[in-house]
């Protein structure tokens, strides 16, 4: 048991090399009511079914891994192990094993994030929000965050992109209507309403991520072509208006990539002769 406690004490420092974790005491038991959850805990959605499964395991085997806490006044704030604490309360335990650590709020947040990521407890949005919090509030760069979490910088960047999604699309990810992969592809679109429209199309047509990429690529091609044509129309329309004033009739210019065609309408033989006279023909 002593060896196991020692391994637990070393584990947190090993997870975050730049964090010096000072263990104040070994494993001890405290009143479960003297412990409270961390409001900054990255996981917001608690899976009740998983808590009940963990509670059953604790009922049969006890709490194998102590809860990691930080002393605050007369109470202890959970750094890692909130699910164990909740399951223990569900079972009705009066006391639970803890390991008290002396760490900063930033370090506590990092440890909580890492534990949840390693346990795969965070959904993609919670994970992205946790990354953003570490970057915004604790001054970590994406490179530093990637290094500490053992991830690539592109993985961090792509995760953060999910936060650019329309709230309705974020809710669809949270509800598992679309996947994280879909979200990352859709996040490339700036228009929030268009994001939602595409997400609905993904659900209705059962599109996979690759098909969604193709859909967005086609939409972007159409948009680029339309914008290009609109730019041409301003120039062509001006010429058409000038020719219309000269000939006193409708003029259409159909411009291709390298060549085009000018159409001058006339409505009778006399009208045609009038136009020819203007051209000195």
Q: Is the pLDDT of residue 75 over 80?
A: yes
Stated pTM of the model: 0.57
Percent of the chain exceeding pLDDT 70 equals: 82
Q: Is the pLDDT of residue 223 over 50?
A: yes
- Helices and strands (H and E) in the chain: how many: 12, 8
Average pLDDT over residues 184-213: 93
DSSP 222: H
pLDDT of 81 reads: 86
Which residues are paired to 262 by β-bridges? 253
Which positions ≥6 away from 110 have C-beta within 8 Å?
16, 19, 134, 138, 148
Cβ neighbours of 271 (radius 10 Å): 14
Beta strands in 81-203 (DSSP E): 95-102
Domains of the chain by range and CATH? 27-39+47-102 (3.90.1530.30), 109-219 (1.10.10.2830), 236-279 (no CATH)
Active-site amino acid positions: 82
């Amino acid at each position: 048991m002593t060896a196991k406690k020692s391994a637990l004490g070393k584990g947190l420092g090993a997870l975050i090399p730049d964090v010096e974790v000072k263990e104040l005491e070994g494993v001890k038991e405290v009143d479960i009511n003297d412990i409270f959850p961390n409001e900054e805990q990255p996981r917001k959605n608690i899976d009740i079914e998983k808590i009940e499964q963990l509670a059953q395991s604790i009922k049969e085997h006890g709490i194998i891994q102590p809860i990691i806490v930080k002393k605050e006044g007369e109470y202890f704030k959970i750094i890692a192990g909130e699910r164990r604490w909740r399951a223990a309360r569900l079972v009705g335990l009066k006391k639970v094993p803890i390991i008290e650590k002396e760490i900063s709020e930033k370090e506590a947040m990092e440890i909580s994030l890492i534990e949840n990521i390693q346990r795969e407890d965070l959904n993609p949005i919670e994970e992205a929000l946790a990354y953003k919090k570490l970057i915004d509030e604790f001054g970590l760069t994406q490179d530093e965050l990637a290094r500490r979490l053992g991830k690539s910088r592109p993985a961090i960047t792509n995760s953060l992109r999910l936060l650019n999604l329309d709230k309705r699309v974020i809710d669809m990810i949270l509800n598992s209507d679309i996947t994280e992969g879909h979200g990352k592809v859709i996040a490339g679109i700036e228009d929030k309403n268009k994001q939602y429209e595409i997400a609905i199309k993904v659900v209705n047509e059962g599109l996979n991520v690759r098909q969604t990429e193709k859909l967005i690529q086609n939409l972007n091609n159409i948009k680029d072509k339309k914008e290009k044509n609109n730019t041409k129309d301003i120039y062509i329309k001006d010429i058409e208006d000038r020719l219309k004033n000269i000939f006193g009739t409708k003029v259409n210019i159909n411009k291709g990539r390298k060549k085009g065609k000018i159409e001058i309408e006339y409505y009778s033989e006399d009208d045609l002769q009038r136009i020819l006279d203007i051209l000195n023909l």
